[in-house]
Amino acid sequence: MKYNGSFADNIIASRLRDCGPMDPERNAKAADEGGCGVTGFACSIPVAGRHIFEPSIRMHNRGNGKGGGIAAVGINPSRLGVSQDELDSHYMLHISLLEPSCLPTLRETFFDPYFDVAKEELLGHVPDHREIEGLEIKPPEVLRSFVRVKPAVLEKFIKETGLDGMDPRHAEDEFISRNSFRLNKQLYSSLGDKQAFVISHGRNVMILKIVGYAEHVVQYYQLEGLEAHVWIAHQRYPTRGRVWHPGGAHPFTGLNEALVHNGDFANYYATSEYLRQRGMEPLFMTDTEVSVMLFDLWNRVYGYPLEVIIEALAPTTELDFDLLPPETQRLYDSIQTTHVHASPDGPWFFIIARNIPETRTYQLIGITDTAMLRPQVFSLYDGDVQIGLVCSEKQAIDATLRSLAAEDPRFSPVADKYWNARGGSFDDGGAFMFSVQPGENGGRELVCQNKFGVPVPVTSRKPLDITKSVHKPEKHAADIDASLQEALEKGDAQRIFQYFRTHASWWDYNALRWAVSRIGRAASKSTKALPHAIDALTLLIDRRIPLGDKKNSALIRIVSDQLYEILRTLPRIAGGAQLGHFALVDADTRNQLRPPIAIETTLVVDAKDFVAEGDECDASLLSDAYKMGWKKFIVFDLRGQRFEGCGFGPKTEEIRIDLYGSSGDYVASGVDGMEIHIHGNAQDQIGQIMKKGTLVIHGDVGQCFLYGAKGGTTFVLGNAAGRPLINAAGRPRAVINGTALDFLAESFMAGDPLAGGGFVIVNGLTRDEDGNIVFLDRPYPGSNLFSLASGGALYIRDPHRKVVDEQLNGGEFRELSDADWDLIRPYLLENEGHFGIKLDDLLTVDGVKRTPREVYRKVEAVPLAVLRKIPETDDSVWVTAAASAAV
Amino acid sequence: MHYKNIWSEVPLREVIATPSRFRRGLGKYTVMVSDACDHCLKCVVVCPENVFGARGNKLEPPRDHLCLGIECSKKSNRCIANCPTAAIRVGVNPSIKALGDRRWTADLLMSTWYMAETGILPKNDLEYRVGGSQGGFDRLRFVFPKRPPKPDLDKNDIDTSITLNRRSDSREKIDIPIPVYGGGMSFGSISQVTMLSRIRAYAAWGSFCCTGEGGYPEILFPFDDHIITQVATGLFGVREETIQRVKIVEFKYAQGAKPGLGGHLLGDKVTPAVARIRETVPGSSLFSPFPFHSVYSVEDHKKHIDWIKAVNKRGLVSVKVSTPSDVDMVAVGSYYAGAHIVHLDGSYGGTGAAPDVAKKNIAMPVEYAIPKVHRFLVDEGVRDQICLIASGGARTAYDVAKAIALGADGVVTGTSDLVALECVRCHNCESGRGCARGIATTDLELVGLMDLEWGTRRIINMLSCWRDQLREILYRLGMSSVRELVGRTDVLAHLDYNSNVQDDDIRQAIY
């Protein structure tokens, strides 16, 4: 869709004429958008609307039920009453009739003179909105209409606007967009009592929104069975409470796209002004509308390629800019110069679903801002079907996949890949798109690319067919049984793990599943074997092993299912007669919580049905149980529940908590002494103000890890997202085996690590599918490292000296001393114990073992003038006095 | 001095005269006795205010800050006329020209000192209600009916208490007997003696006082039930233990005196004691960032509040924000996120440590912000579910009453407490060692300038006088409770729009 410049000029000129003088007073923003919960997925096959349900419910705590919306792209026409051709060629208008009596006027003014209508209907809905629990406000009637512009009308429009020579389809797009604008202006924004507005008008794009939660949209308009390739949903958290109509809810549309947004701009006024100068007037007064207008302007009017649009939204800066190829630098420089005053400033994360009719491609795009201030997780599963997902939280992804897998065995509840985008970066550009394109033999295939169009590699391994029943594998059965039996008798979980490690690559899925089930069988038969079986399965979840042609995601699925099965058959807390080392409690029996009896040591919590926060949540149960005397906890099948480990108070050295599943935000925040293991990825704000204790994360960790931490020892197997250790003071000690997106150890104030202060070790590595260590090309790619730090140290594995001075702002490189190595070596050894990452491997560079000094570098804070030596003052008087007073 | 000195006890609320800790208190008038004095001590007998005193047969140096003024002294039955040797001269103290600023005028400083000393209003013509800023609360006046509408009201029965938890949740319902609690001033920015004096005084009054950002020193443990601990952007000294100790936890999102700026404590003030409480390194400058790095939106904010509620299952949550133009949205968002108290911090406050450029130029004046938020919450139908607290430049009982009439439930103070401790507003707070009065310092020598019990009594006395003034104001308006005053902007007049405003002085009525 390339236009030459004059078309853009003509379109803008005619829009400016059309809009007439704009009222600058109306620049005021009507609603301050909070953050929100956003989720979306794109799939190679059309999937039903009910699957956007689960993730929406899981993100209730990111919205407040005052605005929810969904969008679908690439819809299966069978339920729409039109043919595929009509769906592809016609504009699919959805008009929200806030005041249904306005319909005749609306038709007369905006339809009859211009459109040929192929089909028109009022959307069906449940008779009474009160039947849907929690839906308080009646959603509006929605008119759906499939239209084309009458040829004569279009011809006249082309002539008047000066678009001769332009692809008539693009001119028709522009006509539709202008007609909707006029409708919105006349029937929505200019009125005190709003009557109607266009929700969406693109081709094969549907948007619906209400005052309520997103899943209510699906329920109310009965979309459970409607199938589409791309779905997005949005839970809104508007701060203005009494919104009685859904005009401000997301998604918003440009033409063929739907955009949802989590965040808030600081430069709403400037951006609106930029749009105004180009003949575009915001009518709904939210950031989100403005965002999609920018996208539409750059996409449809200026004809920019997607990479350029993303650059205009999230400019590449600092070191990342320097690392771009020179020709890209020149291009980006001119984009930034031209559009930087419209580039949304502030925390934002966009998810866009769009239809590209020219190439019959349905696309899902996730774009993060340069500073990465909003949470975002991408993921991809590639099997018999392919699906790409992007959400605010990993748990929403897992909820979607679980919902799909429960219905269609071609899906898996565990994705192959989970990752974060690095905003405005030279490597991935902070954006990924999943394109559902026409594939071979009439089907469709999904391709995932980053901002620069570089495809994200997918594994070509065989997917697991869960529907096949497991039978005894003739070839391996005897060996498996003998080896597992021996290891379980000896109570040696490591040995079981090693056995899998050396043997699993030769097995097929059947043998693998059978072997795992044998562990389960042993656990169910012998209480002695039980803890070792749990340990062995845990190791299989935490670490990767060579699997031959099988997928790691499949192994995790098989092992988790087995582990949960074992845990769910443990004696129940309310059971009475049966006592063991473990006692199981779930949401239904939470009120029957009691102190441990006899040999009971471990409280096992089935987190599945617990709420995410509040007095009834599992984290609250844990701290109550601690007060009753429980010291060891296993929490499993987590679905985004938050705050585990919080509320226990000081001095909790004897406690250990193991978390399985999709753990939520704020885990281990404020802990003082306890040990927490997160098996799998962790989310945002983990370990905030941590004081003491051990935290082991067998995966990646989200935003603001260890914010304001004062101490404690933490180990992360994977990456940390933005801002790890920000504002940490005192003596926190962290080992991050992967890397961080950016802003690592900003405002670090942890004194001198050699004199008891804090530090962070970054190893800059990742693991391949078989669990082998792969060192990253750049151990730390971000442009900001140790910024404004006044204390503490960073030890980074950087044998090729890839980290440069430009990345430091307040820090400086130091040679690693013997004392430094003596300090960090025990932590690296402990790291080896937790993750199996060998110290020797860390010191090996390109096959040769090196000295620590050659491999690790130290970054310290530059001593500042304000750090002056001051005389000792004595506060012991008060401490003594306080102690005596407390007695 | 006849008070007990057990620092860990909550002191009694009673007023005990607590004179200046310096040899001569500063007053508006200066009384000079020349060498001609023959120590006849007639002046001691005729002075109604105890300006003159005798030690043995000798006249002491006059306590001239108690002097009622030139007119009084010239009356036939007063000191000058009755001095046989014409040794007494009374004039305006020239020092007042150098004292104070427009917000805290010399009159306001001295009247606050007087209240802190005596627990009553100054009897001379000191202006005790407003400053000279020509803006803010200084342009507002109360319009009292000619006669009290309910003359039968017993002033002692007038209720000045407010409820801090107005939500219908399972958390503690807390009432405080005065609509005032102490704002956050951290250990490190003020001395331990100052901190403890404030907290003990508010405890005596059954109210609360906030620790500020600097952690929770052990000395405060005896006063757990009267402390609000602050969770600020730097998270210094915040531990589960400190969050669990208290009944109210305050999130400091922004400070009205310096919105958009973080807190800062320069290296000089980070002594080992301060560093220990904040769990940081001595001598290292501490900066707290301007935002919470974990809160970039309202749903993050809800999560943040949920977290504190998970740690402290009984306590209330207060959200302190500055007053940007969309402060009403912020307040409503906080309500929906589960906060109990929304604390609007306007721009008039701030000690000398807040940079002037920030203090005077950013955010909405609090007298505009309060009604804006109040009305918005009323329109939303949630006003009776949340406690709205205002702060930022409430210096006097009149400011407190005005803020409430504008729509707040109560008020938070800070600087007035320091003035009660004889702060002279020299604006050297940030230098650490520079506080000439030993208030905002951590230097042990300077800290020694003030005694804990003295400091406590001074603030208790001031609050006592404020309560009496509030009762009198309410009486004049015919209200039996301060809760009736909330949002009654009709009892206020703004001097910009009303030229004919009656004097709202209540001094004569009280004494």
DSSP secondary structure string for all residues of A200-243: E-STTEEEEEESS-HHHHHHHTT-TT-EEEEEEEEE--BSS---
Is there a contact between A550 and A459 (Cβ–Cβ < 8 Å)?
A: no
Mean pLDDT of A866-874: 46
Nearest beta carbon to residue A710 from set B279, B302, B380 = B279
Residues A216-230 have a mean pLDDT of 94
Q: Tens of pLDDT along A613-664?
A: 988 999 999 999 999 999 999 999 999 999 999 999 999 999 999 999 999 9
For residue B480, give the nearest of B205, B173, B161 by alpha carbon.
Answer: B161
pLDDT for A249 equals 86
* Chain A residues closer than 8 Å to B229 by CB: none
H-helix or E-strand spanning residue B319:
strand B316-321
Cβ atoms of residues B182 and B421 within 8 Å: no
Q: Give the lowest-confidence range in B115-129, B245-259, B379-393.
A: B245-259
> And the tokens for B81?
């006329």
- Judged against a pLDDT cut of 50, whether residue A401 lies above it is answered with yes
Q: Which residues are registered as beta bridge partners of A377?
A: A391
In this predicted structure, the answer to whether residue A151 has a pLDDT above a threshold of 60 is yes
Q: Which residue of B has its CA nearest to A240?
A: B329
Contact residues for A853 (Cβ-Cβ < 8 A; gap 6+): A815, A816, A821
- Residue B18 clears pLDDT 70, i.e. is over it: yes
Q: Using CB atoms and an 8 Å cut-off, which of residues 240-269 of chain A contact chain B?
A: 240-242, 262-264
SS3 labels along A416-456 = CEEECCCCCCCCCCCEEEEEEEECHHHCEEEEEEECCCCEC
Give me the count of residues in chain A.
Answer: 887
CB-nearest to B8 from A237, A747, A885 is A885
Q: Cα angle at A600 between A598 and A601, to 5 degrees?
A: 130
With CB atoms and an 8 Å threshold, state whether B311 touches A647.
yes
The per-residue pLDDT for A885 is: 54
Give percent of chain B with pLDDT exceeding 90.
60
- pLDDT at residue A440, as a whole number: 82
Among A29, A239, A288, the residue to mutate for chain B (most B Cβ within 10 A): A239
For A756, which residue in chain B has the nearest alpha carbon?
B281
Count the neighbouring beta carbons within 10 Å of the beta carbon of residue B98.
Answer: 8
Q: Is A539 exposed, middle or buried (0-12, 13-18, 19+ CB in 10 A)?
A: buried
Local confidence band at A875 (pLDDT 50, 70, 90 cut-offs): low
Q: Is the pLDDT of residue A56 over 90?
A: no
* pLDDT, position A489: 84
Please enumerate in sequence order all residues whose Cβ is within 8 A of that of A526, keeping only pairs 6 or more positions apart, or say none. A488
Residues 771-810 of A with CB under 8 A from B: 788, 790-791
Q: Which residue of A has its CA nearest to B286?
A: A749
The residue among A352 and A439 whose pLDDT is bigger is A352
Identify whether the C-beta of residue A250 lies closer than 8 Å to the C-beta of residue A39.
no
Looking at the complex, does the CB of residue A373 fall below 8 Å from at least one CB of chain B? yes
Mean pLDDT across B32-39 = 93
* Chain A environment of B192 (Cβ under 8 Å): 875, 878
Looking at chain A, which residue has its C-alpha nearest residue B326?
A32
CA distance B163 to chain A (A): 23
Q: Which among A53-67, A259-273, B29-43 has the top mean pLDDT?
A: B29-43
Burial class (CB in 10 A: 0-12, 13-18, 19+), A445: middle
A64/chain B closest Cα distance in angstroms: 8
For residue A119, the surrounding DSSP H or E stretch is: strand A115-122
Q: How many CB pairs under 8 A join A and B?
A: 222
Enumerate residues 6+ apart whose C-beta is below 8 A from B133.
B102, B103, B348
Tell me the C-alpha to C-alpha distance, in Å, between residue A253 and each of A301, A362, B6, B177, B453: 15, 15, 69, 55, 67
The string of pLDDT tens digits covering residues B451-491 is 999 999 999 999 999 999 999 999 999 999 999 999 999 99
For residue range B171-208, what is the model confidence (pLDDT) as tens digits? 999 999 999 999 988 887 888 899 999 999 999 999 99
Supply the pLDDT for residue A22.
Answer: 66
End-to-end CA distance of chain A: 79
CB A673 within 8 A of CB A692: yes
What confidence tier does B369 reach under pLDDT thresholds 50, 70, 90? very high
**Interface with chain A: mutation pick from B284, B286, B441, highest number of A CBs within 10 Å:** B284
Q: In angstroms, what separates the C-alpha of A36 from chain B's closest C-alpha? A: 6
Three-state SS string across B209-225, please?
Answer: EECCCCCCCHHHHHHHH
CB-CB: which of B218, B310, B442 is closest to A619? B310
Sequence-distant (6+) residues with CB within 8 A of B510 are B120, B121, B468, B469, B472
Q: What would the mean pLDDT of A239-257 be, rounded to a whole number?
A: 77
CB B499: neighbour CB atoms within 10 A?
7
Q: How confident is the model at residue B357 (pLDDT cuts 50, 70, 90)?
A: low
Q: Is the pLDDT of residue A238 over 80?
A: no
Amino acid identity, position A374: R
pLDDT over 70, % of chain B: 92
Residue A32 touches chain B, beta carbons under 8 Å: yes
H helices, E strands: number in chain B: 16, 18
CA-nearest residue of chain B to A706? B294
Across chain B, what does the average pLDDT equal? 89
Chain A segment 652-711 residues within 8 A of B by beta carbon are 665-666, 669-672, 684-685, 688-689, 691, 703-704, 707-708, 710-711
Taking CB atoms and an 8 Å cutoff, what residues of chain B touch A710?
A: 239, 279
Question: Which pLDDT belongs to residue B509?
Answer: 62
Q: Which of A424-433, A704-713, B39-48, B247-256 has the lowest mean pLDDT?
A: B247-256
Which residues of chain B have a CB within 8 Å of the CB of A688?
Answer: 235, 294, 307
Is A32's CB within 8 Å of B329's CB?
A: yes
- Inter-residue contact A209 to A218 (CB < 8 Å): no
Q: CA A497 to CA A863: how far, in whole Å?
A: 48
| Closest listed residue to residue B256, CA positions, set B392, B370, B374, B396 | B392
Q: What is the mean pLDDT of residues B288-316?
A: 88
Q: Give the pLDDT confidence of A463-476 residue by residue, as tens digits.
A: 999 999 999 999 89
Q: Which residues of A touch B443 (CB under 8 A)?
A: 873
Mean pLDDT, residues A361-388 taken together: 93
- Residue type at A674 in one-letter notation: M
A586: left (phi over 0), alpha (psi -120 to 50) or beta: beta
Q: Do B239 and A650 touch (CB under 8 A)?
A: yes
Q: What is the mean pLDDT of residues B222-241?
A: 91
CB contact A611 to B (< 8 Å): no
Give the model's pLDDT for residue A21. 67
Q: What are the chain A neighbours of B218 within 8 Å (beta carbons)?
A: 878-879, 882-883
Q: Tell me: pLDDT of A526 over 70.
A: yes
- Crossing angle of the two packed helices A618-628 and B298-311, in degrees rounded to 10: 10
| pLDDT confidence tier of residue B259, bands split at 50, 70 and 90 | low
Beta-carbon contacts of A185 under 8 Å, excluding residues fewer than 6 positions away, are: A281, A283
Give the mean model confidence (pLDDT) for residues B10-30: 90
pLDDT at A879: 54
Nearest to A34 among B192, B270, B297 (CB): B297
Helix residue spans in B20-129 (DSSP H)? 42-46, 70-74, 79-82, 106-118
Q: Is the dihedral of CA B113, B119, B121, B122 positive or negative?
A: negative
B227 against B434, higher pLDDT: B227
Q: B25 vs A560, A853, B21, B117, B428, CA distance in Å?
A: 77, 67, 8, 10, 21
| ipTM metric | 0.87
Nearest CA in chain A to B284: A867
Chain A residues near residue B296 by CB distance under 8 angstroms: 35, 263-264, 347, 373-374
> Given an 8 Å threshold on Cβ–Cβ distance, is B283 in contact with A647?
no
Distance from CA of B266 to the nearest CA of A (A): 7
- Whole-model pTM? 0.90
Rounded to the nearest 5 percent, the helix, strand and coil shares of chain B are: 35, 15, 50
Q: Report pLDDT digits (tens) over B396-433.
A: 999 999 999 999 999 999 999 999 999 998 888 766 56
* pLDDT score at A788: 83
Is the CB of B235 less than 8 angstroms away from the CB of A237?
no
Give the mean pLDDT of chain A: 90
* Residue A113 DSSP label: T
- Short-list A94, A152, A154, CA closest to A120: A94
**Which two structure tokens, joined as six digits, stand for A384?**
């018999």
The full length of chain B comes to 511
Instruction: Report helix angle A287-296 to A306-313, nearest 10.
Output: 140
Query: Which pLDDT band, with edges at 50, 70 and 90, does A579 fall under?
Result: confident
- pLDDT greater than 50 at residue A241: no
- Give contacts of B281 with chain A, Cβ < 8 Å: 729, 749-752, 757, 790-791
What backbone phi and psi angles, to 5 degrees, belong to A196? Answer: -160, 155
Token look-up 């501490």 returns B286
Closest to B289 (Cα-Cα) out of B232, B351, B354: B232
User: How close does chain A come to B504, measured CA to CA in Å?
Assistant: 38
Distance of CA A661 to the CA centre of its chain: 15
Mean pLDDT of A401-419: 94
Distance CA A391, CA A459 (A): 22
pLDDT above 90 covers a percentage of chain A that reads: 74
Q: What letter does residue B62 receive in the DSSP assignment?
A: P
- Please state, in angstroms and rounded to a whole number, the distance separating the CA atoms of residues B34 and B86: 8
* B7, B268, B284 ranked by CB distance to A791: nearest: B284
CA angle B71–B76–B77, rounded 5-degree value: 100
Read off the pLDDT of residues A766-817 as tens digits, 9 standing for 90 and up. 999 899 999 999 999 999 999 888 889 999 999 999 999 999 988 899 999 9
When CB atoms are compared, the residue of A237, A749, A874 closest to B280 is A749
Q: What is the mean pLDDT of residues A255-272?
A: 89
pLDDT value at residue A2: 47
Chain centre to alpha carbon of residue B191: 17
Nearest partner of A312 among A290, A329, A295, judged by Cα = A295
What whole-number percentage of chain A has pLDDT above 70? 94
Q: Please report, for residues A139, A194, A254, the alpha-carbon distance to residue A66 in angstroms, rounded to integers and kept in the order given.
A: 12, 18, 23
- In this structure, are residues A213 and A63 in contact, taking their beta carbons and an 8 Å threshold? yes
